[in-house]
Structure 1
């Protein structure tokens, strides 16, 4: 039955969950679970398993939105840690399955504040490990250009939102006392001064798999990139 095969993938939908304990007794191991199913695996040879591991990362985005008056779009979250209690921060969130970084950033800003934006570029990203559920975390800071001004908050998760002068935002203690936040703001300010250009999004198709994807990079020719974020 398994001639020439080394690994077995067993996908059990919710309505077949009674087979999970049977599979475990037969040597299957948990791989990952989603809302509608659990995936299990069995490695046949007496050697280290070569099946790919479960996803190791989650991806978050933050939107740095600044208007012509040098005001930053900021929010206060309803539920946050004590270190951010009362602080005004950038709109942030996780991207959805099959969602681009740039569209995830504009969506999160729209959902939290009601403000429409256009993606400019990725100005920086952070890589951290052992975060939620022991997964690694990629967090992308995106420069966004506002195309509307009216604020309408998502009251389920946002306490308040406002346009805050950039200077006032940067002076907040949680930024001044944290090296990472301070560095992020330094980069964003350099971006506004056109002393730094971030990574812009380009659609490409690879001959390797024939799939369309997005490649983020800093173009080398000045006429090919718009470094004016305002």
Structure 2
């Protein structure tokens, strides 16, 4: 009995290797591609159940063997071998694949909402899917794994997936299928985007803040700054940061300049957009979690601080802001809301200078 079970398991492992592993040579590539979404039935015939279109089976198939009772002098008599799917009414061996859609670049985007929660089921379906997608000539594969299924990440990494990026709630992995083509998947997000707000009133006073953080400018009166939120427009971020830090209401006038630096926080590149805002109120209420203080400071006193005199980049930014405030610099970028087919017809903002030619 023991020897029969070993033989039976070896047979099933061989079948599993053919379908789930790399040994597809037992079938021609053309035949395997045609039959890849079918079930292998107990009578060795293929049939195509509609439930496979849902992506994968929730549980791996269960194998059972039935025997007659032992008889004297003859060991075991085998009555039959069946492979049962989770639906006990259908005795079949399912070829599991992950639910996915094609992208615009002959790649694949796996549906993150219906991944199998079982590690074994996921590993099996992932291997099968990669084999099928390779036969179909697919290239890049995008796999988003939600935080509640984080146990699947090591399995994907073991199969050759690489980390792309992560945010609260998920991690994104990628896989490049072709062995003979250069990987052309876009790299992970590499820039942080921040704003600086130059707010000056009619008395030539600039709205300035002192931050609590132990940074190089912690004891310097500086412009309100901050990072944009997700899906936030540049000018909206400038208005929001000023309001949150100082309580002053403003309106956007123009984008004056931007700075591009590399290998800053978390080794990321950094874009800082300097916006000129017009104050609509004067009363200051500081955010004491971030700031030591905030006030309206005379322009001359502001620009004469040693920090700005000694720092070439910051001095140039302030000089441009001063000139702009005196109406001598009128080529700043203004936000214009337009639609584009590149953005599926959605409204977005284009920043540009003078409108004399439009």
Tell me, yes or no, whether TM beats 0.5: yes
Between 190-199 and 94-103, report the one with greater CA deviation.
190-199
Match of residue 50, structure 1, among 177, 184, 205:
184
Partners of 2:298 and 2:195 lie apart in 1 by 22
Which residue pairs with 1:166 in the alignment? 299
TM-score w.r.t. the length of structure 1 is 0.93
CA-atom RMSD in angstroms: 1.4
Aligned residue for 2:201, secondary structure, equals coil
- Paired residue for 1:61, among 189, 192, 195? 195
Confirm whether residue 12 of structure 1 aligns to residue 145 of structure 2. yes
Q: Which residue of 2 aligns with 1:122?
A: 255
Question: Residues 212 and 218 of structure 2 are in contact (CA less than 8 Å); yes or no, is this contact kept in structure 1?
Answer: no
User: How many angstroms does 1:148 deviate by?
Assistant: 0.7
Which consecutive unaligned segments of at least 5 residues does structure 1 have? 225-230
Q: Which residue of 2 aligns with 1:181?
A: 314
Which of 196, 199, 203 aligns to 2:337? It is 203
The correspondence for 2:264, drawn from 107, 128, 131, is 131
| Higher-Rg member (1/2) | 2
CA distance in 2, matches of 1:20, 1:221: 55
Higher helix share: 2
Deviations 1:71-93 (A, max 9, x none): 00000001131x32321000000
Q: State the alpha-carbon separation in 2 of the partners of residues 61 and 26 from structure 1.
A: 41
Secondary structure of residue in 2 paired with 1:24: helix
- Please tell me whether residue 70 in structure 1 is matched to residue 230 in structure 2: no
1:216 equivalenced with 2:351 (yes/no): yes
Alpha-carbon distance in structure 2 between the residues aligned to 1:195 and 1:203:
26
Could you list the per-position Cα deviations for residues 7-31 of structure 1 after superposition, in whole angstroms to 9, with x for gaps in the alignment?
A: 1111111110011111111001000
Q: Secondary structure of 1:85's match?
A: coil
Unaligned runs of 5+ in 2: 1-131
Deviations 1:38-85 (A, max 9, x none): 00011000132111111121100010001111100000001131x323
Match of 1:227 in 2: none
In proportion to residue count, which structure has more strand? 1
Residue equivalent to 2:171: 38
Tell me if the contact between 2:209 and 2:294 (Cα under 8 Å) persists in the aligned partners. Answer: yes
User: Normalised by the size of structure 2, how large is the TM-score?
Assistant: 0.60
2:156 alignment partner, SS class: helix
Cα-to-partner distance string for 1:133-184 (whole Å, 9 max, x where unaligned)? 1111110010000001110011111110000001100000100111111111
Matched positions, count: 222
Q: Distance in 2 between matches of 1:172 and 1:123?
A: 21
Aligned-partner Cα distance in 1 for 2:166–2:232: 20
Partner of 2:280: 147
